Amino acid sequence: MGIVVTQRQGRVPVTVLQPSDRIDGSNYTEIVARAQEEYAAGGRCFLVDLSQVSYVSSAALVALHKIALLTLHGILPDEESGWEAFRAIERDAQGGYQPYLKLLKPQPRVESVLSMSGMDQYLQVFTDEQDAIGAF
C-alpha cells in the first residue's frame, strides 16, 4: 500500500492521507504509523481519501478507529488492547461523528463495509473534497 500525504487549507489546516490498493491485516499499521507521524508534525485534522482503495478488511476499520482516537486524545491505544478497538467502534459511534477525522470518496465495496460496520455513523463520509475540508 502506498500513502500519498498532502496538506489542504480550509478554516483549519487539513492533512489528507490517500492510501491506495487495499487496507487489510498485512498493512493496516502503515496508515496508522503515517497518521501518527503527521500528528507529531502538527497535523490535527485528517481526511482519509479512500478513492484509490479497492478493498478494506476489519483491520482497516481498526486503523481508522485508532487514527480517530489519536486525533481526539493525542495518543494511540495500547497494542495490547488488540481487537478491543474494533468492538469500541460501535460504542463510539453512539456519540456521533468524530470531529477530527473524515473520509472521502470510498469506492462502493469499501462504502458497503463502512456501512455494515457502523463506521459511517462514527466518521463522516464525503464525495467532494472541498465539502470535506470545509466540514472541519
Query: 58-73 and 84-93 helices cross at what angle (nearest 10)?
Result: 70
Distance CA 87, CA 90 (A): 6
pLDDT at 70 (0 to 100): 94
Q: What are phi and psi of 122, to 5 degrees?
A: -105, -35
**Cell numbers describing residue 94:** 453512539
Under CATH, what is the fold of the domain 3-134?
Transcription Regulator spoIIAA (3.30.750)
* DSSP conformational letter for 83: T
Among 1-10, 74-83, 106-115, where is mean pLDDT lowest? Answer: 74-83
Task: Provide the mean pLDDT of the chain.
Answer: 91
Torsion angle in degrees (nearest 10) through CA of 28, 104, 20, 1: -20
* Cβ atoms within 10 Å of 12's Cβ, excluding its own: 11
Q: How confident is the model at residue 54 (pLDDT cuts 50, 70, 90)?
A: very high
pLDDT at 110 (0 to 100): 98
pLDDT at 82 (0 to 100): 55
Q: Is the pLDDT of residue 131 over 70?
A: yes
Reference 1, options 23, 25, 34; nearest CA is 23
Q: Is the pLDDT of residue 123 over 60?
A: yes
Domain definitions of the chain by residue range: 3-134
Among 21-25, 39-43, 95-99, 129-133, where is mean pLDDT lowest? Answer: 95-99
Handedness of CA 69, 72, 75, 81 (dihedral sign): negative
Q: How confident is the model at residue 40 (pLDDT cuts 50, 70, 90)?
A: very high
- In the chain, what are the helix, strand and coil shares in percent, each to the nearest 5? 45, 25, 30
Q: Is the pLDDT of residue 59 over 60?
A: yes
Which of the pair, 41 or 95, is modelled with greater confidence? 41
Reference 101, options 124, 119, 85; nearest CA is 124
Mean pLDDT over 6-34 rounds to: 97
